[in-house]
Amino acid sequence: KACDCMKLYFEGNESLDDEGDPSKAIALYNQALSLADRRTRQTSQVPKGSILMKRARAYLQRAANHRKILRSLVKDLTDTVPSASTMKILYQTASSHPELSASIFQRLAGDSKVNQGKFRQIRYRHDMHEFALLHATQDSLQATKLLPRSADAWYIAGECLAELRKLNESNQYYVRALALDPSRKDVLTGLMEKNKLSQEFMDKARESGFSGDTLRLAVDVAAS
């Protein structure tokens, strides 16, 4: 069983790192974890925490793939939604030429139905993005409990929390990673500063009236 667990673990790593296929990697890590759970009374050759860290990475990659599609969908929608100036021109045209008003408003009604479908696609893709991030965060937090002396575990947990917009919590995990591995000071300091600036931006956005799904979607689409 230990050999099978190791085989699945390394196959998952290959799928993630070499093939760039997070879904295949997640499936392999799921099988490896299932075997690891059956060996609770024995010492596994592949620590469960290590598998969870890699699966968290795979879920982060899946989330990144969803975000890429999400950005494309948002761009497509913004390219098709009429601007305020365009709507003004259409209204003036319809007012000046009543014979054209029916066709103009029919066209706008048709565009509205198309855009409603695009809105639904955006909502679905954003939900999938969030779902992947939640899985990644859950795995990474569990890994810190199983591998409390691993700087990598705390680093990945901080990264997942940042992607989930839990920025203050993310910095707490980065601080722990830095305590375990001071050689990462430059990288972690930069990430913590980035989190601080992002948190300030979100606070200002909330003060301006943005909240809930609108704010999350805007931050996720704009995130680098």
Q: What is the pLDDT of residue 202?
A: 83
| Rounded CA Rg of the chain | 23
Report CA torsion sign: 216, 217, 222, 224: positive
Q: What is the pTM of this model?
A: 0.79
The CA distances from residue 125 to 52, 72, 86, 108, 116, in Å, are 24, 11, 29, 25, 14
Q: What is the pLDDT along the chain (224 residues), one digit of tens a residue?
A: 568 888 999 999 999 999 999 999 999 999 999 988 776 555 454 589 999 999 999 999 999 999 899 888 878 777 665 555 654 554 555 556 565 556 645 654 555 566 677 778 888 888 899 999 999 999 999 999 999 999 999 999 999 999 999 999 999 999 999 999 999 999 999 999 999 998 888 888 778 777 666 667 666 666 65
> Which helix (H) or strand (E) is 135 found in, with range?
helix 98-146
- Closest to 219 (Cα-Cα) out of 5, 67, 16: 67
- How would you class 96 by CB atoms within 10 Å of its CB: exposed for 0-12, middle for 13-18, buried for 19 or more? exposed
Give the pair of three-digit tokens for residue 37.
């759970």
Give the pair of three-digit tokens for residue 125.
């893709």
Q: What is the pLDDT of residue 168?
A: 94
Q: Which amino acid is at 103?
A: S
Which parts of 15-97 fold into alpha helices (H)? 22-37, 48-80, 84-96
